[in-house]
Amino acid sequence: MGYIKKIVENKIPGIYVLSLKIGSNLIQDMENSFFMNANDQVREVCGQLAKDPRLKGGYNAMGFSQGGQFLRAVAQRCPSPPMFNLISIGGQHQGVYGFPRCPGESSHICDWIRKTLDLGAYTQAVQEHLVQAEYWHDPLKEEDYRKNSIFLADINQERGINETYKKNLMALKKFVMVKFLNDTMVDPPISEWFGFYKSGQAKETIPLKETSLYIEDRLGLQEMDKAGKLVFLGVKGDHLHFSEEWFYSTILPFLQ
C-alpha cells in the first residue's frame, strides 16, 4: 500500500492520500486483516475518516482485495464524510467459496484458515474471530449464510432491506470493480464483478445482472447501472498483479 500511495502522489501533485492502517504498526495491521472482526474494522476506519480534517469535503476510496468489500461497507454505513468514487481492485463483493491461495503465501495461516472454514464457517466463534469467514458464501448452504454471516450477508441485504445502506451506496458517483482475468486466489473470480455461483451448486456462475440482489434491486445496483455509475474493468493477470502503466491509464482518472 505504501507503493500505491507513492505512485498516486507522484502522478497527481498536491493530492492527499491516506493509507488506512488498522492497529498501531504493520504487524498488527496484517494480523487484523485475518483476525479482527470486519465490522470492528469498518467502525475503526469510519472513525479515522471522520477525524481527518482533510477529508471533510469528501474523498475517493480505493480498496485492494478484501479491502474492496470493506470500503463498500464504509460507503453504506458511514456517509460522512462523503465517498465520491469507490474503486474495488479484486474485491469479493459476493464473497468467496474457496481459499485456493493466501496473499503472501503465509502457508501455516492459510492451512489453518482452510481447516477452520471446513469445520464451521458459520459458527459464532469462527464468524467473530476469522475475517475470511465473514465473507464466506456457501452456495450449498444459502440459508446458513443468510442467517449467520455477520458481515457480508448484512451489507448485501440478505436479511432484509436497510434503506440507508441503499441510499448511501447510490450516492456514489462511480463504483468501479476490477476483476483479474487470471485470478487463482479468489473463488469464484466473478465475485470481483459482483457475480457468484448459481444457488444450490458450485460449478455454474452467474453475472451480477442475473442475481436476485440485482433483479430485486436490494442495494440499488440496478438503478446505479442504468445511471452509468457501475464500471466493470478486467485486467490480465493473477490476483493483484497489474502494471504501473495499466494503473496510470485506467485507475488514476477516477482519482482526479
Domain borders along the chain are 1-254
Q: What is the pLDDT of residues 112-153, one digit of tens each?
A: 777 787 778 999 989 998 899 999 999 999 999 999 999 999
Residue 252 DSSP label: G
* Cα angle, residue 168 at apex, residues 246 and 51 outer, rounded to 5°: 80
pLDDT at 210 over 80: yes
The CA-to-CA distance between both ends of the chain, in Å, stands at 19
217 an active-site residue?
no
pTM (two decimals): 0.93
Domain 1-254, CATH: 3.40.50.1820
Query: Of the listed 93, 187, 191, 239, which one is catalytic?
Result: 239
Mapped onto helix, strand or coil, the DSSP state of residue 25 is: coil
19 an active-site residue?
no
Give burial (CB, 10 Å; 0-12/13-18/19+) of 216: exposed
Local confidence band at 107 (pLDDT 50, 70, 90 cut-offs): low
Lowest mean pLDDT among 19-33, 49-63, 236-250: 19-33
Q: How far apart are CA 179 and CA 187, in angstroms?
A: 12
Query: Of the listed 65, 88, 149, 191, which one is catalytic?
Result: 65
Q: How far apart are CA 25 and CA 202, in angstroms?
A: 39
Give the pLDDT confidence score for residue 102 in this predicted structure: 63
> Residue 89 phi/psi, 5° resolution?
-105, 95
183 an active-site residue?
yes
Report percent pLDDT > 70 for the chain.
96
Q: Which three cell numbers stand for residue 22?
A: 488498522
166 close to 219: Cβ distance less than 8 angstroms:
yes
Query: Of the listed 138, 154, 183, 187, which one is catalytic?
Result: 183
